[in-house]
Structure 1
């Protein structure tokens, strides 16, 4: 079962998207902002990260920059 990290600051979107992914037999971890998402990704190494672009604490471009610096 592929592990997916969902980084989304809007709770309803995060919950709905997470439920859809779980119904498709994926393991889903959720983070409410980019900073928490990066910490979770570096600790768990998911197969895929789905990330919102416009977030307050650390936006999606910042998340991408950190991901590219940490193979």
Structure 2
């Protein structure tokens, strides 16, 4: 019985996940899903949930070169 409890406690650490601790784990960005999974194993993208980036108009932008 103590062998089972020891194995459970070994895997249940509460330390933060760092790059050294999680070798085969992708932590993600915390941004949420952009779609949903289907019953047959596919994935449907919901376009209203897709992130879009707004770029300002750079037509009159003056480039400054620092040397």
Smaller-chain TM-score range? Answer: under 0.3
User: Could you say which structure has the higher helix fraction?
Assistant: 1
Structure possessing the higher radius of gyration over alpha carbons: 2
So what's the TM-score if we normalise by structure 2?
A: 0.19
